[in-house]
A and B are shown apart, each in its own frame.
Chain A
Amino acid sequence: MKGYDAIVVGAGPAGATAALAMANKGLKVLVVERGPTVGSKNMFGGMVSHCPVVEELVPGFWEQAPWERHVVKRTLTVLSEAAATSIVFESENFDRQPYNGYTLFRPIFDRWYARKAVDAGATLLAGCLAEDVVLQNASITGIRIGRGKGQVHAPITILCDGVLSLLARRLGLSKPAEARNVALGVKALFRLKEEEINERFGLLRRQGASQEFLGCTEGIRGGGFVYTQTETLSVGLVVHLDSLKESRKAPYDLFQRFLTREPVRKLLKEARLVEYSAHVLPEGGYRLVPQLSAGGLLLAGDAAGLCYTNGLNQEGMNLAMTSGFLAAETAIDAFEKGNFSEKQLAGYEARLKESFVLKDMRTFGAAEELMHNDRLFSVYPNLVGTIMEQLYRSDGRPKRGMGRVAWDAARNSLPLKHLIADALKGGGSLI
């Protein structure tokens, strides 16, 4: 088969960005995508944070891109047995361009974005699985496709093949994922009239909302979410796999019970279920970012473990696009120097470290540990509910001071040493 300058495996946001950036510079790029159409393997149902780097590739990117709603309202809800305590953040600044975040459908967005790469000259091969890489003199020189029968060669390959990245694993670049560093997301899409969504979430026009839930996973480390699209809601749960395994509960059963929780049930009243999906996501944080390059090879997006949450932000797509962009810059640089060695491509990691991608992952590296504290998902949500209910309750008896109520409730919920340890660790990891 004919040769290319660069091969991109996977046409998600990392792959499309890398392909577009390289094609813009005149490189001959092949993108292989295992789905029959671009985006058809993706079950994303969240928010993509504003990502300036793509504006450099497509002027007016966010004006053109097929997104659903721009998110102006973010809610964090802590569920206890009978109560819900929410922090609602709404900003008029997020209602002005450039918008801070968007909800979107990946089968639509990814297809649009990959089309940009094709328009710039990249070749897209959908329905094509990259089965292996071709290794020559300790350097990756291409991929195997078509059940081992075909080979495509290029001096550089960029793996954007998602969280499981079987190819990176086979090469030994990333370690086999352990259950404690991976979460499972299960999600369903519900159809609801646009006006109905606007009314229930307090939105106007194409304003969007996100709502995250803590304390809805029956003590399993994880949380729930609801995101608004134009005429649909994405509703789901994300749970750590080791914690799920220990619980011996089925994710769809947990999900079903989440849907019956009062605050969720109200949002979904008369909404029609239209699709169900599930996928794992990287949850290891900075600590588990794999080796990002090798001779002739770069990793971007989820394949590079670039995804994190700190409790408030859930970032992945913007990290994918930015890493795809930086991988392309590294590849372009390598072409100018005619050098695709491991040493030359190691410059990619340096670029990521200078950018917000690895800086943010590092900043919130310790938050990953906090997210592995079981008490955050069991004891604390109930404690919040208990305190708030006591503060608001009127029962004819004299009220106690607020600090006293909180302190007594906390002392009744968990040992002092845990309370102190969690306060120190929790504070330290986020500040």
Chain B
Amino acid sequence: MITDDIFELVSYDIDEESHIRVDTEVCGQCAHRACTFACPARCYQWNEARGKIDFAYEGCLECGTCLIICEKGALDWKYPRGGFGVRFRLT
């Protein structure tokens, strides 16, 4: 199994709007940036050039990890609109 492959196996109905808002100002003061490695869907990446967090909501598994590990409260975390987001087939 190659790590990249596992992300290809998830189905989504992607909403046009992100259900999570990241306050990148707050992220700038974060020492651990745990979201960049703990998110099981790799939605968060530290952008060295821009000096801020890049966030892509499209691959979000709605698991709640980032909401809990971000004790700085940088996230405005909601579930996607009804019917949207990740959709597990069997699992």
Interfacial residues, chain A to chain B (CB-CB below 8 A): 32, 34-36, 39-45, 105-108, 126-129, 131, 145, 147, 163-164, 166, 177-179, 182, 184, 186-189, 232, 234, 241, 244-245, 248-253, 256, 259, 273-280
Contact = CB atoms under 8 A, between A and B. Distances in A.
A131 B63 CA distance: 18
Contact of B88 (A128, A147, A275): A275
B1 A186 contact: no
Nearest to A268: B1
Contacts of A275: 9-10, 88-91
Contact of B64 (A107, A108, A256, A280): A280
B6 to A, nearest CB: 4
Interface of B: 1, 3, 5-7, 9-10, 13, 32, 34, 37-38, 40-42, 61-65, 67-69, 71, 77-91
Given A259-B1, A277-B91, A34 B63 contact: no
B41 A278 contact: yes
Given A184-B65, A273-B5, A273-B9, A250 B90 contact: no
A40 B87 CA distance: 5
B83 to A, nearest CB: 3
B74 to A, nearest CB: 14
B19 to A, nearest CB: 10
Given A278-B65, A280-B65, 13 more contacts: A40-B89, A41-B86, A42-B91, A43-B61, A43-B91, A45-B91, A106-B88, A128-B83, A145-B82, A166-B77, A177-B68, A179-B68, A256-B3
Contacts of A107: 88-91
25 contacts: A34-B82, A35-B87, A43-B88, A128-B82, A129-B80, A166-B78, A166-B79, A177-B68, A179-B69, A182-B64, A184-B38, A184-B63, A232-B90, A241-B69, A252-B6, A273-B9, A275-B10, A275-B89, A277-B61, A277-B88, A277-B91, A278-B41, A278-B63, A280-B64, A280-B65
Is chain A's interface secondary structure helix, strand, loop, or mixed overall?
A: mixed
A39 B89 CA distance: 9
Is chain B's interface secondary structure helix, strand, loop, or mixed overall?
A: loop
Contacts of A39: 88
A182 B79 contact: no
Given A34-B82, A127-B82, A279 B90 contact: no
